Amino acid sequence: MIRLKNVSFRYEAAKEPSLRDIDFTVKRGEFVILTGLSGCGKTTLTRVLNGLCPRFYGGEITGSYTLDGMDTAGMTLNEIGTKIGNVFQDPRSQFFATNTTDETALAMENRNYSPALMRSRINEVADMLGIRELLDRDIFGMSSGEKQKIAIAAACCVHPDVLILDEPSANLDPESTSQLAGFLKTLKELGMTIIVSEHRLYYLSELADRMIVMEKGRVKREFPHDQMSALTEGELTELGLRFLKLPEINRPERSSQREDSFLTVDDITFKRGRTCVLNRISMSAERGKILAITGRNGVGKSTLCKVITGIYRERSGSVLYYGGKLSPRKRVNSSFFVGQDADYQLYGATAREELLINMGKAPELAEKAEMLLTRFDLSEYSERHPASLSGGQKQRLLIAAAIMRERPLLVLDEPTSGLDGKHMRDLAVLLREAADSGLCILIVTHDTEFIALAADEVMNLQRDK
Amino acid sequence: MKGSERKFVGLKEIIIVVLFSVLTFIVSMVTALPFAASVHLQLYAGYSLMAIISGPIYVLMISKAPKVGTQVLFFAVKGLYMLIMGQVLTGIIFIVGGFICELIVMNDGYHSVIRSGAAYMLHMTLYGLGSFFPVLFLGDTFRAQLLSRGYDAEAVETMVSLYSSPVIILTVVLCLCVASALGMFIGSRMMKKHFVPGGAV
Amino acid sequence: MQQGRIYPLTSLDVRVRVLLLIPVSIAAMLITDETLLCCLFALAAVWLLMFGLHKKALAYILVYAALWAVLFPLREMQIPGSIPLLTVYVRRIIIAVMGAAPVMSAPTGRLIASLHRMKLPKTAVLSLAVFFRFMPTVSMEYRCIREAQKFRGIGTSIAGVLLHPFLTAECILVPMLMRTSKVADELAASVSVRGMQLEGECSSLHEVRMGAVDWLVLVLGFTAVAVLFAADRSIGGSV
């Protein structure tokens, strides 16, 4: 089905090639996982496969790429697109229409299908994937999981031979991830060739026929299914990958408040318009401990964190630090919130400048910044622009910025969503160190592996109505 | 079929230009708010602020989409808005202005800071003079229209004399030219400092 | 945006919405008599309600009423300057905006389909679709940026903004532009692999057809505005 021979690719603006001498074959109907440390080239490989490199993202390509027996060198993006369907990572930026049905029909409209054929395909795909109730809705109100399902449906409507997915579980909660696995199983049973570029391996371990691990632009190892299942945790850690099975979590539940906690949340209510997002929530947290906050998507975890850190003002109830009630403004000054999307939170021109923004010019601060950069493994990037760093590096930079400001409370919202195994483990170690030095850390996360490594206690937030 | 070889705006460039035009449109709406109470403040400070803030947006936009059609699309959002608001004359002037900006940057004009800057300056100046055009070109008809619509005579006279005063027009043009140049300068600084190293281009 | 609920005009052909927008805007600018202007406003409010845009209609009614209430005392007090001008001008703009609201709230798929049928060039159609798709998201993105800034102590108070204008502006513009740039690239990639091109034919899921209701509304709409015009003329306003 797909055959890459000796393919190398270098982006126009880059000095080094991102892919080197890739030999890669995929048979029809195979399910392949592409994985590896961030920066290994898996995204570039998916772009070569779907034709975006070099047609959209300019650059130099060598080697041959045969798709279903045809040489792709002369094919246009559109022609490749009829054979390969794509699901990209960020649902917010891949949707063109505002209505889900329109989005599903987009690929077909562009290929001039008749309205009757389009409607029948939409019905067929909706039944196959069980998403009828998601049709004809406004995408602005939908959750990431729902959007991802629509994206898959949209890709399937033109009956592609191959489906390529780029980190599809990045923004999904465990329930949505298992639904995603169900979708992929259905598609595999229908004979579709599926290539998934992913860090999270546990939900695919049963489905995959092969797993390919990349490193620095080359194919490092290839594991057929049996060998893959036989990999030990030690071997996976060495490869920098996440585990193939989710660990058990046996951490104490943080249920009720305790006296003399550092952070106390007392009977908080928060409303958005008429919807009650947080209904009389109470909890507490200690300095020196890491508390993981879990719960389904939409239950209000991020909102709770924003109330705790003072971004939002509570409708009723109070947030207390050391027993003293604080106004939202004071809370902002005593905490640091690292949100999901690093793009919104980086302002400096260099990594070093990022740590020193709005902090003044005292020489001790510059020294402290240097020390933090070293400790967070960023000193070789200290002159680089923050936006050019990888996801994991941006996370570390933001946490370093938090520690620069010496705030006692650090709150992180899904810090591991795009992280590979190695960086996820490194982050757990870093946070552990930060907690040991006295910080109170709250982490909103779905990442079970991360919770097992980093959290001292777990709190499950539920909607109790 | 590489994007850099085509002269006209392709799909990628249209998306880029429209998204950045949305930003400048919003900037123009938002910078008008604090000065809404006083026409003079609006004319000198409000529009100038808009020209300064929109500078980096323009600079990044033209470095990502230096094609024929970018200027017209850039102006099109504001032109369409004017048309919908019933300011037909101003809307048409904006659209014509867009084409003139195209001519300014034709034939590799985007490589020249002077020409790209001139197009930006023209854009901002035309926008700032938007309220002047009905008075300047329609004169008495406009005055009569306003009177009949319930504006009282004194206010109308003040307004007409304001919008037809050469001194004020020149001051506005001057303010906007300076502000545009400043905006372009800030934009080029930001390009070097942020957008290029950050990979936005 | 209403989901799922059907209001009387939810499926009104987008072309009718666009076509009726024109006389409403023109009328808003040209009608001279206050009472008739208020009638036009009332029509516009009903127009919005028929699409289920209750919240918008209510907001506009409140603003209009406030402006009207302010206008008369101001006139009495003979205050010169732009505030009285503003109240007159802004009320008319509100009516034009209300006329445009049903066009902007149409799902982009139908909007594109209708514009296509009106034989607009594909460049224009795509531009409008992208515009309507992204206008609503900008405010959300802005809010995200501002929220994150608070922890760095940027932009938290008016004094802070005035003292450090460049820093505040840089810290808003840089993330906003970087983000917009990224979104633009990703969106373009996403639609390119799905076959979107400027050249070439494309079909439409929605069949754009004028039904009896569409014609009826079109005719009624034009007639209503024409009646207001005529009444205005006869009262003695000059158009």
> pTM value?
0.88
Q: What is the mean pLDDT of residues C23-39?
A: 79
Which residue range forms the structural domain that includes residue C66?
14-191+209-235
Report if residue C6 sits inside a domain. no
- Residue C72: the pLDDT is 67
- Find the residue in C nearest to A336 (Cα): C151
- Residue A26: the pLDDT is 92
From residue C178, alpha-carbon distances to B90, C97, C183, C185 in Å are 32, 31, 9, 11
Q: Of A337-346, B23-32, C94-103, C159-168, which range is least confident?
A: C159-168
DSSP 8-state class, residue A253 = B
CB-based contacts of C166, cutoff 8 Å, min separation 6 = none
- Residue B152: the pLDDT is 66
Q: Letter for the amino acid at C156?
A: T
ipTM higher than threshold 0.95? no
Report if residue C174 sits inside a domain. yes
Q: Please give, rounded to a whole number of angstroms, the shortest distance from the CA of A320 to a CA of chain B.
A: 37
Smallest Cα–Cα separation from B13: which of B74, B97, B82, B102?
Answer: B74
- Residue B34: the pLDDT is 80
Which residue range forms the structural domain that includes residue B50?
3-131+170-195
Interface contact C205-A115, CB threshold 8 A? yes
Q: What is the mean pLDDT of residues C225-233?
A: 83
Q: Can you read off the two tokens belonging to residue B189?
A: 């600084």
Q: Please give, rounded to a whole number of angstroms, the shortest distance from the CA of B181 to a CA of chain C.
A: 16
Q: Letter for the amino acid at A74?
A: G
Pick the residue of A388, A389, A394 with the most B CBs within 10 A to test the interface with B by mutation: A388
Q: Can you read off the two tokens belonging to residue C88?
A: 């007159």
Smallest Cα–Cα separation from A168: which of A216, A203, A123?
Answer: A203
- Chain A: touching chains (3 or more CB pairs < 8 Å): B, C
Name the residue among A58, A349, A388 with its Cβ closest to that of B193: A349
Using CA atoms, how far apart are residues B185 and B58, in angstroms rounded to an integer?
11
What does the pLDDT look like over B33-45, one tens digit per residue? 887 777 788 888 8
Smallest Cα–Cα separation from B24: which of C138, C141, C187, C125?
Answer: C138
- Chain C: touching chains (3 or more CB pairs < 8 Å): A, B
pLDDT at C155 over 80: no
pLDDT at C2 over 50: no
Query: Which string of b and e fits A28-37 if b means at least 16 CB within 10 Å?
Result: eebbbbbbbb
Report if residue C201 sits inside a domain. no
Report if residue C7 sits inside a domain. no
CB-based contacts of C206, cutoff 8 Å, min separation 6 = A115, C109, C110, C113
In A81-192 the beta strands, taken as DSSP E runs, fall at: 84-87, 162-166
Report if residue B145 sits inside a domain. no
- Find the residue in A nearest to B201 (Cα): A13
DSSP 8-state class, residue A416 = T
- Residue A214: the pLDDT is 92
Using CA atoms, how far apart are residues A293 and A46, in angstroms rounded to an integer?
34
- Residue A336: the pLDDT is 92
| Average pLDDT taken over every residue of chain A | 88
Q: Of A377-391, B149-163, C12-26, which range is least confident?
A: B149-163
Based on the number of CB atoms within 10 Å of its own CB, is A197 exposed (0-12), middle (13-18) or buried (19 or more)? buried
Q: Can you read off the two tokens belonging to residue A210?
A: 């092969």
Name the residue among A88, A306, A309 with its Cβ closest to that of C186: A88
Pick the residue of C21, C83, C180, C182 with the most B CBs within 10 A to test the interface with B by mutation: C180
Q: Phi and psi (nearest 5°) for B150?
A: 105, 5
Interface contact B2-A385, CB threshold 8 A? no
Question: Is the Cβ–Cβ distance between C133 and A97 less than 8 Å?
Answer: yes
- Find the residue in B nearest to C172 (Cα): B53
> Helix A391-404 crosses helix A363-375 at what angle (to 10 degrees)?
140
CB-based contacts of A198, cutoff 8 Å, min separation 6 = A33, A34, A35, A165, A167, A168, A169, A204
> Helix B113-128 crosses helix B88-104 at what angle (to 10 degrees)?
170
Interface contact C144-A102, CB threshold 8 A? no
Q: How far is CA C47 from the centre of its chain?
A: 14
Length of chain C: 239
- Alpha carbon dihedral C229, C232, C237, C239, in 10-degree steps, equals 0
DSSP 8-state class, residue C178 = H
Report if residue B117 sits inside a domain. yes
Report if residue C74 sits inside a domain. yes
- Residue B148: the pLDDT is 66
Using CA atoms, how far apart are residues A290 and A260, in angstroms rounded to an integer?
17
Using CA atoms, how far apart are residues A293 and C145, in angstroms rounded to an integer?
24
Residues 96-135 of C with CB under 8 A from A: 107-110, 129-130, 132-133
**Up-side HSE of residue A361: CA atoms within 13 Å toward CB?**
0
Report if residue C143 sits inside a domain. yes
Q: Please give, rounded to a whole number of angstroms, the shortest distance from the CA of C60 to a CA of chain B.
A: 16
Using CA atoms, how far apart are residues C38 and C42, in angstroms rounded to an integer?
6
In chain B the beta strands, taken as DSSP E runs, fall at: none
What does the pLDDT look like over C174-227, one tens digit per residue? 999 999 999 999 999 999 998 888 877 788 888 777 788 888 888 888 888 888
Query: Which string of b and e fits A392-419 if b means at least 16 CB within 10 Å?
Result: bbbbbbbbbbbbbbebebbbbbbbbbbb
Using CA atoms, how far apart are residues A14 and A39, in angstroms rounded to an integer?
13
Based on the number of CB atoms within 10 Å of its own CB, is A274 exposed (0-12), middle (13-18) or buried (19 or more)? exposed
Total number of domains constituting chain C? 1
Residues 159-178 of C with CB under 8 A from A: 164, 167, 170-171, 174-175, 178
Give a three-class secondary structure readout of C111-168. HHHHHHHCCCCHHHHHHHHHHHHHHHHHHHHHHHHHHHHHHHCCCCCHHHHHHCHHHH
Report if residue C20 sits inside a domain. yes
pLDDT at C9 over 80: no
Report if residue B140 sits inside a domain. no
Using CA atoms, how far apart are residues C176 and A390, in angstroms rounded to an integer?
19
pLDDT above 90: percentage of residues in chain A: 26
Report if residue B42 sits inside a domain. yes
Is A76 in CB contact (< 8 Å) with chain B? yes
Report the 10 Å Cβ neighbour count for B73: 24
Using CA atoms, how far apart are residues A303 and B33, in angstroms rounded to an integer?
30
Report if residue B95 sits inside a domain. yes
- The conformational region for residue C78 under phi > 0 = left, psi -120 to 50 = alpha, else beta, is left
Residues 340-369 of A with CB under 8 A from C: 341, 343-347, 357-358
Using CA atoms, how far apart are residues C108 and A67, in angstroms rounded to an integer?
34
Based on the number of CB atoms within 10 Å of its own CB, is C207 exposed (0-12), middle (13-18) or buried (19 or more)? exposed
Report if residue B200 sits inside a domain. no
Which residue reads 């991020």 in tokens? A302
Q: Can you read off the two tokens belonging to residue B123?
A: 């854009």
What does the pLDDT look like over B74-100, one tens digit per residue? 998 888 888 877 777 888 899 999 999
pLDDT class for A259, splitting at 50, 70, 90? low
Residues 119-148 of A with CB under 8 A from C: 119, 136-138, 140-141
- Residue C176: the pLDDT is 92
DSSP 8-state class, residue B191 = I
Using CA atoms, how far apart are residues A336 and A311, in angstroms rounded to an integer?
10
Q: How far apart are the first and last CA of chain A?
A: 52
Report if residue C87 sits inside a domain. yes
Name the residue among C34, C191, C238 with its Cβ closest to that of B144: C238
Report if residue B101 sits inside a domain. yes
What does the pLDDT look like over B118-166, one tens digit per residue? 999 999 999 988 888 877 877 777 777 667 666 667 767 777 787 888 8
Bridge partners (DSSP) listed for residue A410: A336, A441
* Omega before A54 within 30 of 0, i.e. cis: yes
- Collapsing DSSP states into helix, strand and coil, what is residue C237? coil
Residues 1-20 of B with CB under 8 A from A: 1-4, 12
A222-226 CB contacts, 8 Å cutoff, 24+ apart: none
Size of interface A-C (CB pairs under 8 A): 171
Q: Of A17-31, B18-32, B108-122, C67-81, which range is least confident?
A: C67-81
Report if residue B147 sits inside a domain. no
